[in-house]
Amino acid sequence: MYSALKKIIPRTFLKKNESIIRPIVALFYRGHIVQCNLCGFKASKFIHNQRGGKLCPKCGSVARARRLWTILEPILKDRVVLHFSPALKLSQRIRRANTKDYITTDFSKEFKADKCLDILDIAEPDAYFDIIICYHILEHIDKDIQAMTELYRILKPNGVCYIQTPFKHGDIYENPAIHTESERLIHFGQADHVRIYSVPGLVKRLESVGFTIELLNFEKETSGVHGFSTEETIVKAYKPI
Ligand SMILES: [Zn+2]
């Protein structure tokens, strides 16, 4: 249903009118087989996207946002949180949690956010945040070591930054000869990506600026109830005390 709509209606129109269209789409997916942990909607199935992911028919959340909520929900109370390029429904849930402070930011102005912070020069105090959510950001940043240094600076000792990017096996793939959007699409999988990380490669760079790393590795969910349809690695980067 939603896939069919995307083929015949411009994406910009769908995004602009998402709050009206989503509830209508959800009517066609009502059921009791699966459930979204972000909006609570019970459905007959999730919407399958082209990359093998599963979207909630009601709130449009992707699996990685729903998975992250299972991790964040128990630890948000009284914490100071910074969220880069926040997915809407996840952001709404965090805002309703009892955080001490919750700041959202998006440099590209693609996502609704409180601020427009430059990750290379973050206009926030040293050691201010308990939790930083930095999902699918670093693969867009040329000077990623500088960004990591800034994330480290604004994190409190014992604070944690949750990081995820697309990953490949082997080494990080970068190529300074690749500049154009079409080349980047071919080489890095997206027109605005500047590299593809590997998990060990990302870990090594994070450790080089001072972080201590813990990897959270998730298998594909066997029941399918929450739509965690793929394996997933989340990098937890701690600032040591
Ligand atoms: Zn949902």
Tell me, in angstroms, the distance from the centre of ligand 1 to residue 171's CA. Answer: 35
Tell me, in angstroms, the distance from the centre of ligand 1 to residue 15's CA. Answer: 16
Confidence (pLDDT) at 5: 57
Q: CATH 3.40.50.150 residue ranges in the chain?
A: 64-238
Confidence (pLDDT) at 205: 98
Tell me, in angstroms, the distance from the centre of ligand 1 to residue 37's CA. Answer: 7
| 36-84 pLDDT tens trace | 999 999 999 999 887 778 999 999 999 999 999 999 999 999 999 999 9
The DSSP string of 198-232 is EHHHHHHHHHHTT-EEEEEEEPPPSS-TT---S-E
Tell me, in angstroms, the distance from the centre of ligand 1 to residue 110's CA. Answer: 20
Query: Cα separation of 105 and 120, whole Å?
Result: 13
Query: Cα separation of 40 and 92, whole Å?
Result: 13
Cα atoms in the 13 Å half-sphere on the side-chain side of 43:
26
**Length reported for the chain:** 241
What phi-psi label fits residue 109: left (phi over 0), alpha (psi between -120 and 50 degrees) or beta? left
Q: Who surrounds ion ligand 1 at CB < 5 A?
A: 36, 38-39, 41, 56, 58-59, 61
Tell me, in angstroms, the distance from the centre of ligand 1 to residue 136's CA. Answer: 20
CA atoms 198, 196, 229, 55: torsion sign:
positive
Confidence (pLDDT) at 45: 94
The whole-angstrom distance between residue 87's C-alpha and the CA centroid of its chain comes to: 7
Query: Cα separation of 22 and 59, whole Å?
Result: 7
**Spans in the chain with pLDDT lower than 50:** none
The answer to pTM > 0.85 is: yes
Query: What three-state secondary structure class fits 20?
Result: helix
Question: What fold is seen in the domain 64-238?
Answer: Rossmann fold (3.40.50)
